[in-house]
Amino acid sequence: MKGLFAVALGVLTAIGGFLDIGDLVTSSVVGSRFGLSLAWVVVVGVVGICLFAQMSGRVAAASGRATFEIIRERLGPRAGAANLIASFLINLMTLTAEVGGIALSLQLASSVAPGAWIPVAAFGVWLVIWRVKYDLMENVTGMLGLALVVFAVAVFLLHPDWSSLATQALTSPVPAGESAGTYWYYAVALFGSAMTPYEVFFFSSGAVEEKWTLKDLAQSRLNVLVGFPLGGLLTLALAACAALVLMPQNVEVTSLSQVLLPIAQAGGKLAVAFAIVGFVAATFGAALETGLSTGYTLAQFFGWSWGKFRRPTRAARFHLTIMIGLVIAMGVLATGVDPVQVTEYSVVFSAIALPLTYLPILIVANDPEYMGEHVNGRITNVVGMVYLVIILVAAIAAIPLMIATGAGA
Amino acid sequence: MILSDLLGVPVTDPAGAPLGRVADARFVLDGPLDGQLAAARLFGLLVSPHTGSSFLGYERRTMRAPYPIAVVLRWRHRGIFLLRWEDVERVDRDGVHARPGWTRYDATID
């Protein structure tokens, strides 16, 4: 019974923890502009993150090393440092977007301006990272994040024409009024929001935090292979809601409140309340993960002691890095920059940075010195190579597409 | 000297002809006991004729997958060899200079 409970808890938190501000914003923007014609990207992204998380979890369990320890060991100091700088900056950008997302979500619940919520959000994130135990933190945000299931319910309540939704999703047309350039720009953005590098820093470091051994791999594989696809379905539900309500009225999503409009129409106040709880949980959970990831990446690269399993005094530089990261995020947000825009850029830059962490993990997952008998199988390697190509193409195409389309304007 | 002083620097033979760049350094653990392990001793440098970038572990015979990555890296590091540290005459600002009578050893390890 206890085993069953652990399995259910793992899967449920994986679903609830799957979404973050990047998914909320990007899938709604995409849904309102392209309908479900980019649904295939969510599928590609979810399979990719399953593959990547599963590999990095296995590497962490087999070798006891998290992502940036591997990058430092395998790429050497110079290429490793270049990798660190890029990954660290993009993670910081994502952290900024998530903290801004918490503030926007709390604004929806309170009608107090987000500027006032930003310091509260950052302080809350710091306090939880400093004080709350790792598994409690993960389980609470993951479970509350499940409130976003309301978006899946809303799709049914909106009584859509299922066959036209399916046609959109399966034939993937470029809608009238959109260029091929913007279509592919948002394809990259949606891909970047599903396969975000911090998820992997966090996942592999979390495996070390929770002291996984090879015995725990079956559970982790189940969490990933069941939880992430179901989380991906929620992403599709968000896009479908936007496609059903916002697209026909030509509403372009530029704020988090617009993401709520379909929910309000479908289920009224109660549904909106659920969605806001889901927003707060999703953004807060992701802010914890990206906040910790700022510490993980830097500490693992420089060989400092790190981790929440140590008391903060025993991992002082790790915690100091996180605090500085949060202060920088607050500083950026204090300039009055729109968190939704920061989010839109952060998912594209995530796609750009992805090969930097993906390639070392793919290589080390094949290294018998680290992995013993748990090296990648043949099928994993074939899929892994296909994804290496996809990830490289998305990363290389991102900047030209961004310039050519004026960032999707 | 630290390892970063060696990685990527050019290597020349006694006549001054270029041999390649230092792609990696190989150590053996046969020194006096240092805590739990024997202290590491620099055994030699991996010199790669076409690049100073890392071989990412594919110099080991057991590292064969994923096949396309292994092929690309083996091609980039074609002609890589091991220059034993005792075959190094000196290291200066121009790089690493091999001693007369140096030997080109196979860089592969099992």
Domains of chain B: 3-105 (2.30.30.240)
Q: Across the interface, which of A363, A375, A376 has its CB nearest the CB of B57? A: A363
* Per-residue pLDDT at A29: 94
What are φ and ψ of residue B28, in 5° steps?
Answer: -120, 145
DSSP string, A317-376: HHHHHHHHHHHHHHHHHHTT--HHHHHHHHHHHHHHHHHHHHHHHHHHTT-HHHHGGGS-
Asked if A194 contacts A235 with a C-beta cutoff of 8 angstroms, the reply is yes
Residue A232 distance to chain B (closest CA, Å): 28
Name the one residue in this structure whose structure tokens are 């996180």: A322
List, in order of start, the domains of chain A with CATH numbers.
2-405 (1.20.1740.10)
Residue B8 distance to chain A (closest CA, Å): 10
Task: Tell whether the model's pLDDT for residue A48 goes beyond 70.
Answer: yes
What's the mean pLDDT in A358-368? 92
Task: Tell whether the model's pLDDT for residue B9 goes beyond 80.
Answer: yes
* Per-residue pLDDT at B22: 93
Task: Tell whether the model's pLDDT for residue A313 goes beyond 80.
Answer: yes
Q: Do A77 and B65 touch (CB under 8 A)?
A: no
Residue A384 distance to chain B (closest CA, Å): 8
A chain contacts of residue B8, beta-carbon cutoff 8 Å: 78
Confidence of residue A1 (pLDDT cuts 50, 70, 90): low
Q: Do A381 and B62 touch (CB under 8 A)?
A: no
Q: Do B62 and A369 touch (CB under 8 A)?
A: yes
A chain contacts of residue B66, beta-carbon cutoff 8 Å: 362, 366, 376, 381, 384-385, 388
DSSP string, A148-179: GHHHHHHHHHT---HHHHHHHHHH-PPPTT--
What's the mean pLDDT in B18-28? 92
Task: Tell whether the model's pLDDT for residue B34 goes beyond 80.
Answer: no
Task: Tell whether the model's pLDDT for residue B81 goes beyond 90.
Answer: yes
Asked if B79 contacts B48 with a C-beta cutoff of 8 angstroms, the reply is yes
What's the mean pLDDT in A52-71? 90
What are φ and ψ of residue A381, in 5° steps?
Answer: -70, -35
Q: Do B66 and A369 touch (CB under 8 A)?
A: no
* Per-residue pLDDT at A212: 85
B chain contacts of residue A385, beta-carbon cutoff 8 Å: 66, 68-69
Asked if A34 contacts A253 with a C-beta cutoff of 8 angstroms, the reply is no
Residue A75 distance to chain B (closest CA, Å): 7
Integer Cα distance of A181 and A18 in angstroms = 28
Residue B77 distance to chain A (closest CA, Å): 15
- pTM listed for this prediction: 0.90
Q: Is B2 on the interface with A (CB under 8 A)?
A: no
Q: Across the interface, which of A75, A362, A368 has its CB nearest the CB of B66? A: A362
* Per-residue pLDDT at A2: 62
Q: Do A385 and B53 touch (CB under 8 A)?
A: no
Average confidence score pLDDT of chain A: 91
Residue A388: closest CA among chain B residues belongs to which residue? B69
In the 8-state DSSP scheme, what is residue A243? I
> Higher model confidence: residue A13 or residue A341?
A341
- B-contacting residues of A 346-375, CB under 8 Å? 362-364, 366-369, 375
* Per-residue pLDDT at A369: 87
